[in-house]
Structure 1
């Protein structure tokens, strides 16, 4: 029996999920693509991948008894509203990051998820990357001892458009939230304090949007471990993303993924390809794995490896980091509800 799903949203991340579902999840049928700002171009795209039902009103999804799951890929402030409706109508939920921008709504949504009994998976797709998973398994095995330092580097290839920046929620909330989640994932501990700093070094115009393009965050964990995250909106060399966990017995790293594994060795030196261009290339398989995991949770009762609580904690850390940057001080997580 096929799972029948709806995708809420028709932007970039919604299309990533829709196309991956069509291509790789053979026992899934997408019945609807819904977006309040649906364009004719989006309707044509949906038709090309075999989705006939498109619209601007999500009520048709929640009123359709055939729909057993929704993929929430809409703008962040709509996430918890859709989660609540899905809980009321018995639809299982895959939710893209961030969980929401409103902490109070997040707590209400978590309560609704627990009360309804629906299945929920938080879409932090980096956790589903084979390299990050091997790093996590290595840490959990004790091979490098007790984690002491978590280091994450995340540098996008180029600045996003100003329209994106204007509605993103800021660099810590929109982009570094992935790294906050991975820091918790690898440390096995909660963050207790954040100090964040940064500037608009690539494009000063970003300050007009209340944002920056170059950022650091220093984390303290309940375990006593520390973390360091550096992020840039423009690497100029592709998607530069590296991870390291240093422990009491050694360390383990995840490096960049190159465009090819060919290396050229001659009198001019050793030459290798730069990293793949962006997250769409780097994490294509991770999206597929995350989707497969979601349907294992829905159909077979598997435990969700990334929960709404994980989404909440990442949002709290992002809000603490944003407050730290704005006020130029360390912020304890206890200050964030």
Structure 2
């Protein structure tokens, strides 16, 4: 019996009985990894057995908080025989190798985006997952957001007819550090990739062509990397519909996350979440509370929901909310946008995908 078959049998055993559970290992305990580990500990059917991070204080804190075994070396965690699945929340450059290693030991995988910045490596990882017969779910958390989920459902129900136009606005509250930007793959691969996935998710149609312009306006020094912090990306969908994605690395009003879809029967709006629903009206005007802050505050429920969905994949046989192929398609769109920016022309996705 192969190690992959052993892993599949372990999870099949975990599915049986009233106390079914998935035994998890968490790789990477930075901001996202620590949050996912804590969320997993709150979800029935998931149990964090082991965690890994080379940073000693982060590892020690997680071990104490979760009561899990700790490993400084991630390969030691992957080789454990008492795990059914891993959550990969490490730096992006390690994701592909960790997916391949986990699949090789028969473990199911939840991985933060991206799989990799190179399409060839992405395809290598997806082939390893396919050979092993394990589940891979990507961390495109916006699919699990209640507002964007409702937007997709209403479109699928025909509420506005066949969509004509999509607009997505995504602005971070503050720029990422330059050291992060240098290894991120650039704005399209790091930031807009979520919006590319959201566009495909909401519209239910693939993108055929991408055109992008951008500039380093918030921090002109980014041009030396080179990278940009403001961008307008237009999309032409396979059915002829059009889309616009607006990105900026800084927004003084907070984490600005909106989407709008227009069609022959009307328009749907997914607005920002606010800190509360309080409205104050006085002589100076009408005042709302601020919009929700960055990742954990804005998408706290979505992060929980995507891990619940991962548990349902393994315990109930539900399909992943975001597959490895979804990750590949978004990477293709990011590469097309980057080529369009550099070459100053529209780029067909077929040029990238081959």
Which category of TM-score, normalised to the shorter sequence, fits these structures? over 0.9
Residue 3 of structure 2: aligned partner: none
Contact 1:187 1:225 in 2 (8 A): no
1:67 pairs with 2:83:
yes
Aligned 8 A contact 2:236 2:243 in 1 = yes
After TM superposition, give the deviation of residue 45 of structure 1 in Å.
2.2
Contact 1:261 1:273 in 2 (8 A): yes
Aligned to 1:5, which of 12, 24, 27?
24
State the secondary structure of the residue aligned to 1:192: strand
Q: Residue 32 in 1 paired to residue 29 in 2?
A: no
Q: Which residue of 2 aligns with 1:19?
A: 38
Q: Structure 1: 5+ residue runs without aligned partners?
A: none
Tell me the CA shift for residue 57 of structure 1: 1.7
1:231 aligns to 2:247 (yes or no): yes
Is the Cα–Cα contact under 8 Å of residues 150 and 186 in structure 1 kept in the other structure? no
Runs of 4+ that moved beyond 4 A: none
Q: Does 1:50 align with 2:66?
A: yes
Structure 1, 70-79 or 287-296: larger mean CA deviation: 70-79
Tell whether 2:190 aligns with 1:177: no
Matched residues in 2 for 1:15 and 1:315: separation? 25
Aligned residue for 2:66, secondary structure, equals coil
Q: Deviations over 1:108-143 (max 9, x none)?
A: 222222222111211101000111111110000001
Are the equivalent residues in 2 in contact too, given 1:77–1:102 (CA < 8 A)? no
Q: Which residue of 2 aligns with 1:323?
A: 339
2:244 aligns to what SS in structure 1? Answer: strand
TM-score (norm 1): 0.96
The alpha carbon displacement at 1:26 in A equals 3.5
**What is the deviation of 1:74?**
1.3
Shift of 1:327: 1.8
Equivalent pair of 1:294/1:304 in contact (CA under 8 Å):
yes
CA shift, 1:165, in A, is 1.2
Aligned residues of 1:33 and 1:51 also touching (Cα < 8 A): no
In 1, the alpha carbon distance for the partners of 2:302 and 2:321 equals: 14
Deviations 1:71-114 (A, max 9, x none): 11112222121111111111001111112112111112222222
Q: CA deviation at 1:52?
A: 4.0
Q: Which moved more, 1:104-113 or 1:275-284?
A: 104-113
Greater mean alpha carbon deviation, residues 178-187 or residues 42-51: 42-51
Match of 2:132 among 113, 116, 124: 116
- Structure 1, residues 170-190: CA drift from partner, whole Å, max 9, x if none? 111000100000111112111
Deviates more, 1:275-284 or 1:25-34: 25-34
Match of 1:166 among 176, 182, 186: 182
> In the alignment, is the contact (CA less than 8 A) between 2:22 and 2:45 conserved in 1?
yes
Q: Give the Cα–Cα distance (whole angstroms) in 2 for the partners of residues 205 and 227 of structure 1.
A: 30
Alpha-carbon RMSD: 1.3
Structure 2 distance, partners of 1:315, 1:221, is 16
SS in 1 for 2:24: strand
